[in-house]
Structure 1
Amino acid sequence: MNTKYRDLIDQTYYFPQEEFKLEENGLHFHNIDLMNLVEKYGAPLKFTYLPKISENINRAKKWFQDAIEKHDYPGRYNYCYCTKSSHFEHVLNEALKNNIHIETSSAFDINIVEKLKASGKINDDTYVICNGFKRDQYIANISRLLNEGHKNCIPIIDNYEEIDLLGENIEEDFEVGIRIASEEEPKFEFYTSRLGIGYKDIVPFYNQKIKNNDRVNLRMLHFFINTGIRDTAYYWNELNKCLKVYINLKKICPSLDSLNIGGGFPIKNSLAFEYDYAYMVDEIINQITLACAEADVDVPHIFTEFGSFTVGESGGAIYEILYQKQQNDREKWNMINSSFITTLPDTWAISKKFVMLAVNRWNDEYERVLLGGLTCDSDDYYNSEQNTNAIYLPKYKRDKPLYIGFFNTGAYQETIGGFGGLQHCLIPQPKHVLIDKDENGNLTTELFSEQQNVEEMLNILGYGSGN
């Protein structure tokens, strides 16, 4: 009878996989010996494998280039990174090695853009696509960037007042985009996105606010689906409505030449994950080509805004199982030495799924468990609702430490979790390690941040020295 944890994984999934393999010392992720990482830095531990960022960017570029060549598509493709997914400098530094552009969401994003320009990592040819609801500070920062000569900064109009607010602050002519307020899926509590301008209102808005405004040119139509680019009737229906708006606008607005299909690609959330990225890109290019040919208008240049897809699969978290609590006949709670709410907040807030595997002890027998965090909050757990399947791990043994890993956690978790700030129940945030490759292709590690200590917490709370 196959009762080992490795037998369970072999029977349930195709394993090993491209990024996962098993060696004598335990699980390897992108050839990173995770037990060596634990032995060097301890657990709990967050890490970022930087080369994965460049790999995913170039995968997407190739899918679009292949589709453009196949359909003889005359437009250009521009890859933008959504900084809100992870604002860290090490992430931007890696992403910007690949000749990409940037999408921003709020005022301080522009300050990051200015830092990147000052260091020579971007230049005036880099597109800065400014999304989000814009008021005083964001308007001022966008205007400053444009006034200082960054003509490829394109504010995406989110509401009826932003054209006037921008015009009051920008000194010369400028270009804008308009965001479509897409209709949400039926399961949502609301029908229409709060972001952007409704389908039926976009052409009247253009005629009223832009057409006769000598200082403003409409350059881009922005199409965003909250649930991302997926092969569903809902997605293709919304894309078709978007293309109708583009065609109607293009016929009366010659300056419109770009379509931004925001709402990114999904990332791997289990070992059973399947998604045909190349097919989706090919079909998007095909649909745009057919619609524009039928209407006899020029096809647009394509922009995408990939945040989670860019950085998500670069991240991971490792925890140690501290203790097992047998709460009743059926439920065994494995307690991790950290908190899900603070270190992987999406597991708590939106029941997001991540790849979860044991790091060591794959030759031991397995058992079904629930995972609990250290806080006193009853919602601090990870179970089969968050995981794609029931959670099985090597059997808990007090004298044999067990480590578990969560993978593809690189997007949003640090910012939503409040990196460097207060943590729920004052559970400290873990160490964070950056993993890269040197010029010879050898893996290197660098400690980015230490585990949060009590002095940092007390200072934030006002209990610092002198108080």
Structure 2
Amino acid sequence: MNTKYIDLINQSFYFPQEEFKLRNKTLEFHDIDLMKLVEEYGAPLKFTYLPQISNNIARAKGWFAKAIEKNDYKGKYNYCYCTKSSHFKHVLNEALKNDIHIETSSAFDIDIVENLKKEGKITDDTFVISNGFKRAQYVTNIARLINNGHKNAIPIIDNYEEIDLLSQEIKGKFNVGIRIASEEEPKFEFYTSRLGIGYKNIVPFYNRQIKDNPKVELKMLHFFINTGIRDNAYYWNELVKCLKVYTALKKICPTLDSLNIGGGFPIKNSLGFDFDYEYMVDEILNQIKGVCEEEEVEVPNIFTEFGSFTVGESGGAIYEVLYQKQQNDREKWNMINSSFITTLPDTWAINKRFIMLPINRWHESYERVLLGGLTCDSDDYYNSEQHMNAIYLPKYNKDKPLYIGFFNTGAYQETIGGFGGLQHCLIPSPKHILINRDEDGNLVKEVFSEQQKSEDLLKILGYNEQ
């Protein structure tokens, strides 16, 4: 009988896959021996595999280049990275190796941009697209960036007051974009996004505040869908509505030349993940070109803002199963040596799915389990709601340690979890390792942060002020 965990995987999915394979009966991720990583650094453990950031940027650029050629599309393509997905310097340094641009969302983002400029990572030719509701400090920082010569900074107008606020602090002429307040999916409890300006109000807003304003030039229309780029009726319907606004605006605003289709690509969240990226890019450009030809306007330059897609698939977390609790006849709880709420907060907050696989013991029999975290909070768990279906793992054996990995966790988890700060129930943040490759392709590993110690947390709490 096929009763081993490896048999279950082979029956359920195509395996091995591009990033996952077994060697010496243990799991490898992008040819990284994960069991060796555990033996070297212990668990719980977080890691970032930096080359995957460049890999995903190259993939997306390739899809757009192919679609531009196929559709004889006359506009240019610009890849922007959403810094909010992960602000860490090692992430930005890797991403910026690939001739990309930056999307910001708050005042301190501009400080990061200026730091990167000082180090030569970006130049005045790098587009800095500034989204979000702009409070005073954000306006001041954007103005400082533009006043210091960064002419490719484009603040995206989110509300009717921002033109005046920016004009007061920016010396001379500056470019702007306008964000469309898209309508949300029917499952939302609200109908229209709180961000941006409504479809029907954009042309009147342009006529009222921008058209005859000698300081302001409209360059970009920004279209963002909260659920990201998906092949469903909702996405295509919103895109068509956006294109109607773009073409109407282009006819009265010759300077408008760019369309930002923000709202990123999905990332792989199970071994059964299937998304035809190439088809989506081709169809998006085909639709944009078709509407523009019908309305007899030039096609726009295309900007995308990919955050999770850029950095998500570079990250992983490894835990040890400490103990198994049999809570009733059917429920077996495998307790990990960390917390889902603190280290993978999206599993708790939005039931987000990540790929979860054991690191070792693939050739042993398996059982159905629930996964529990260490905090005393009843919501600190990972089960079939977050996972694609029921969770199966090699059978618990107190004499044979079991390690499990969560993969493609590189976006948002550190910032939402409060990296370096207090954690729920004072569960410490795990050690974090950066993994790169040298010129010969050999792995290079570096400890980015050690596991938090009690004195770190006590100092934050005011118990140890020295």
Classify the TM-score, shorter chain. Answer: over 0.9
Q: Give me the whole-angstrom Cα distance separating, in 2, the residues matched to 1:389 and 1:139.
A: 46
Structural mapping, 1:107-126, within 5 Å: 107-126=107-126
What amino acid maps onto 1:93 in structure 2?
N
TM-score by length of 2: 1.00
What amino acid maps onto 1:450 in structure 2?
E
State whether residues 317 and 405 of structure 2, in contact with CA within 8 Å, keep that contact through their aligned partners in structure 1.
Answer: yes
- Per the alignment, residue 87 of structure 1 pairs with 87
The alpha-carbon deviation at position 394 of structure 1 amounts to 0.3
Q: Give me the whole-angstrom Cα distance separating, in 2, the residues matched to 1:27 and 1:77.
A: 37
State whether residues 25 and 363 of structure 2, in contact with CA within 8 Å, keep that contact through their aligned partners in structure 1.
Answer: no
Give the gaps of 5 or more residues in structure 2: none
- Per the alignment, residue 15 of structure 1 pairs with 15
Q: Give me the whole-angstrom Cα distance separating, in 2, the residues matched to 1:81 and 1:223.
A: 16
Q: Give me the whole-angstrom Cα distance separating, in 2, the residues matched to 1:162 and 1:135.
A: 9
Structural mapping, 1:127-206, within 5 Å: 127-206=127-206
- Per the alignment, residue 414 of structure 2 pairs with 414
Q: Give me the whole-angstrom Cα distance separating, in 2, the residues matched to 1:318 and 1:9.
A: 19
1:39-85 CA-partner distances (Å, limit 9, x unpaired): 00000000000000000000000000000001111100000000000
TM-score by length of 1: 0.99
- Per the alignment, residue 352 of structure 1 pairs with 352
What amino acid maps onto 2:189 in structure 1?
E
What secondary structure sits across from 1:323 in the alignment? Answer: strand
State whether residues 77 and 302 of structure 1, in contact with CA within 8 Å, keep that contact through their aligned partners in structure 2.
Answer: yes
- Per the alignment, residue 381 of structure 2 pairs with 381
The alpha-carbon deviation at position 274 of structure 1 amounts to 0.1
The alpha-carbon deviation at position 444 of structure 1 amounts to 1.2
Structural mapping, 1:10-409, within 5 Å: 10-409=10-409
- Per the alignment, residue 424 of structure 2 pairs with 424
What amino acid maps onto 2:109 in structure 1?
D
What amino acid maps onto 1:415 in structure 2?
T
Q: Give me the whole-angstrom Cα distance separating, in 2, the residues matched to 1:257 and 1:325.
A: 61
What secondary structure sits across from 1:213 in the alignment? Answer: coil
State whether residues 25 and 33 of structure 1, in contact with CA within 8 Å, keep that contact through their aligned partners in structure 2.
Answer: no
Q: Give me the whole-angstrom Cα distance separating, in 1, the residues matched to 2:452 and 2:158.
A: 38
How well do the aligned residues superpose, as a CA RMSD in angstroms?
0.5
The alpha-carbon deviation at position 465 of structure 1 amounts to 4.1
1:91-130 CA-partner distances (Å, limit 9, x unpaired): 0000000000000000000000000000000000000000
1:302-342 CA-partner distances (Å, limit 9, x unpaired): 00000000000000000000000000000000000000000
Q: Give me the whole-angstrom Cα distance separating, in 1, the residues matched to 2:106 and 2:132.
A: 6
State whether residues 25 and 362 of structure 2, in contact with CA within 8 Å, keep that contact through their aligned partners in structure 1.
Answer: no
Q: Give me the whole-angstrom Cα distance separating, in 2, the residues matched to 1:464 and 1:213.
A: 56
The alpha-carbon deviation at position 169 of structure 1 amounts to 0.4
Q: Give me the whole-angstrom Cα distance separating, in 2, the residues matched to 1:408 and 1:457.
A: 28
The alpha-carbon deviation at position 390 of structure 1 amounts to 0.5
1:328-368 CA-partner distances (Å, limit 9, x unpaired): 00000000000000000000000000000000000110000
State whether residues 260 and 304 of structure 1, in contact with CA within 8 Å, keep that contact through their aligned partners in structure 2.
Answer: yes
Q: Give me the whole-angstrom Cα distance separating, in 2, the residues matched to 1:443 and 1:282.
A: 36
- The alignment of Structure 1 onto Structure 2 pairs a total of residues equal to 466
The alpha-carbon deviation at position 414 of structure 1 amounts to 0.2
What secondary structure sits across from 2:61 in the alignment? Answer: helix
The alpha-carbon deviation at position 25 of structure 1 amounts to 4.7
Q: Give me the whole-angstrom Cα distance separating, in 2, the residues matched to 1:161 and 1:458.
A: 43
State whether residues 258 and 303 of structure 1, in contact with CA within 8 Å, keep that contact through their aligned partners in structure 2.
Answer: yes
Q: Give me the whole-angstrom Cα distance separating, in 2, the residues matched to 1:73 and 1:282.
A: 10
Q: Give me the whole-angstrom Cα distance separating, in 1, the residues matched to 2:364 and 2:451.
A: 31
Q: Give me the whole-angstrom Cα distance separating, in 1, the residues matched to 2:410 and 2:206.
A: 38
State whether residues 25 and 35 of structure 1, in contact with CA within 8 Å, keep that contact through their aligned partners in structure 2.
Answer: no
Q: Give me the whole-angstrom Cα distance separating, in 1, the residues matched to 2:88 and 2:105.
A: 15
The alpha-carbon deviation at position 231 of structure 1 amounts to 0.4
What amino acid maps onto 2:358 in structure 1?
A
What amino acid maps onto 1:458 in structure 2?
L
Q: Give me the whole-angstrom Cα distance separating, in 2, the residues matched to 1:62 and 1:439.
A: 23
1:408-427 CA-partner distances (Å, limit 9, x unpaired): 00000000000000000000
1:423-445 CA-partner distances (Å, limit 9, x unpaired): 00000000000000001011111
- Counterparts in 2 of 1:145 and 1:274: CA distance versus 1, 3 Å: same
State whether residues 368 and 393 of structure 1, in contact with CA within 8 Å, keep that contact through their aligned partners in structure 2.
Answer: yes
Q: Give me the whole-angstrom Cα distance separating, in 1, the residues matched to 2:439 and 2:2.
A: 43
What amino acid maps onto 1:410 in structure 2?
G
What secondary structure sits across from 1:262 in the alignment? Answer: coil
What amino acid maps onto 1:60 in structure 2?
A
The alpha-carbon deviation at position 36 of structure 1 amounts to 0.3
What amino acid maps onto 1:36 in structure 2?
K
Q: Give me the whole-angstrom Cα distance separating, in 2, the residues matched to 1:124 and 1:31.
A: 38
What secondary structure sits across from 2:69 in the alignment? Answer: helix
State whether residues 81 and 101 of structure 1, in contact with CA within 8 Å, keep that contact through their aligned partners in structure 2.
Answer: yes
The alpha-carbon deviation at position 184 of structure 1 amounts to 0.3
Q: Give me the whole-angstrom Cα distance separating, in 2, the residues matched to 1:140 and 1:405.
A: 43
Give the gaps of 5 or more residues in structure 1: none
What amino acid maps onto 2:394 in structure 1?
P
Q: Give me the whole-angstrom Cα distance separating, in 1, the residues matched to 2:406 and 2:309.
A: 17
Q: Confirm whether residue 444 of structure 1 aligns to residue 444 of structure 2.
A: yes
1:154-189 CA-partner distances (Å, limit 9, x unpaired): 000000000000000001100000000000000000
Q: Give me the whole-angstrom Cα distance separating, in 2, the residues matched to 1:25 and 1:172.
A: 65
What amino acid maps onto 2:255 in structure 1?
S
1:3-28 CA-partner distances (Å, limit 9, x unpaired): 10000011010000000001115000
Q: Give me the whole-angstrom Cα distance separating, in 2, the residues matched to 1:379 and 1:212.
A: 55
What amino acid maps onto 1:29 in structure 2?
F
